[in-house]
Structure 1
Amino acid sequence: MPKKTIKRYMPDHHTIRNNKHLQIFGDFLHNPNLWHLNRRSVARAFAIGLFFAFIPVPFQMILAAGTAIIVHGNLPLSVAIVWITNPITMPAIFYACYVTGTWVLNTPKQAFSFEASWQWVIDSISTIGPAFLVGCGVLAILFSLIGYFGIQSLWRYSVTKEWNKRKLSRQDK
């Protein structure tokens, strides 16, 4: 089940291989393990994608792609999962990171209002920045572990269910 569902939504590997932004990886993109859908590669891809989704840096997709190449995770999934943080979901996710950071550091929440300016970012680094960055790290690790073990469990459950279905169909004959 997970393999069929994931395969339905995955882009063609030739399209990704020829993407101009991923050309920096050169011949590493020709490793067939980066394109296969199996339990290990998909679980690694979810862990990588979820980790970098919570890290507030530019070029998250390139970092996810590079990490997928290094650990032999499924490259298209790693890059696609990073888009969990998109312009619509980013405020809620990063606010959750800030709240988590204040809880971990045991500091009070500070009132702030967002401004789309470089000066606001520089001023905020000293006030809400430490709690935000700690929260990003904690949630990145937490959700990457949940993603990894969740996919492992879901995949095993799906395979066991298919085996039992085959076993029952053989017994009926």
Structure 2
Amino acid sequence: MFSRFVAWAKRNLPTRESMEANRWLRPVAHRVLEPSLWRFTRRSVPRGVALGMVTGILCPVAQVPLSAIFALPVRANIPVAALTTFITNPFTTPPLWVAAYWIGSRILHFGEGMGVEADAARGWMEWLFSEAGPSLVVGLTLITLVFAVVGYGASALGWRWWIVRKWRARAEARAA
């Protein structure tokens, strides 16, 4: 399963060469094509994961280009940031927004002390701007923060685990 995912990513993610050939990127090619933004290092990969989570959850459109643009100042890995934005897709976005609304309404204490008749009398647009909008914004912000921190930590620990495994394999090979 993982090898199929890696093969798909290699086929579909933009490469340095394809971006270099793009006429729209020529003015900023010297920044975008900097090798450190394309290398997989222990610092750039967790940054890319966290950045991809942020742009994937908070930006409803143009997630991949925005993650690539935001990767420049934070020195994040561009392919990892672009790939991580796919955490939100047509299957995960509706439950994410429902959870964000629920969390935001609990934090802002909306819906407490209101009777059923008061809720029925309000118009949909009034509800959207007075309760749903702020609840959704607060909930999405909190979920984004949690996902970014957990994604950063998990990828940093995963990187460390992978390196320790390689060190042990080398030590065993030397010992044998």
What is the TM-score when the length of structure 2 is the normalising length?
0.77
Single out whichever of 98-107 and 14-23 deviates more from structure 2.
14-23
Gaps of 5+ in 2: 115-123
CA distance in 1, matches of 2:40, 2:125: 40
CA change 1:44–1:14 in 2 (3 A) is: same
Aligned equivalent of 1:39, options 39, 42, 45 = 42
- For 1:101, the equivalent position in structure 2 comes to 104
Aligned length in residues: 162
How many Å apart are 1:79 and its aligned residue? 1.7
CA change 1:146–1:18 in 2 (3 A) is: farther
Aligned equivalent of 1:54, options 32, 54, 57 = 57
Aligned equivalent of 2:139, options 135, 139, 148 = 135
What is the TM-score when the length of structure 1 is the normalising length?
0.78
Single out whichever of 139-148 and 20-29 deviates more from structure 2.
20-29
Contact 2:53 2:84 in 1 (8 A): yes
Alignment of 1:44-83 (within 5 A): 44-83=47-86
How many Å apart are 1:23 and its aligned residue? 6.2
How many Å apart are 1:18 and its aligned residue? 4.5
CA change 1:99–1:24 in 2 (3 A) is: farther
CA change 1:88–1:27 in 2 (3 A) is: same
- For 1:115, the equivalent position in structure 2 comes to none
- Equivalent position amino acid for 1:142 in 2: V
Contact 1:101 1:134 in 2 (8 A): yes
Aligned equivalent of 2:94, options 91, 94, 97 = 91
CA change 1:136–1:18 in 2 (3 A) is: farther
Q: Percent identity?
A: 27
Q: Deviations over 1:41-94 (max 9, x none)?
A: 111000000111221443333321121011111112212211221223211111
RMSD of aligned alpha carbons: 3.2
* 2:142 partner SS: helix
How many Å apart are 1:165 and its aligned residue? 1.6
User: 2:166 matched to 1:162?
Assistant: yes
Q: Deviations over 1:24-54 (max 9, x none)?
A: 7443212111111111111100000011122
- For 1:152, the equivalent position in structure 2 comes to 156
* 2:76 partner SS: coil
CA change 1:23–1:79 in 2 (3 A) is: farther
Gaps of 5+ in 1: 111-119
Aligned equivalent of 1:13, options 11, 16, 29 = 16
CA change 1:165–1:26 in 2 (3 A) is: closer
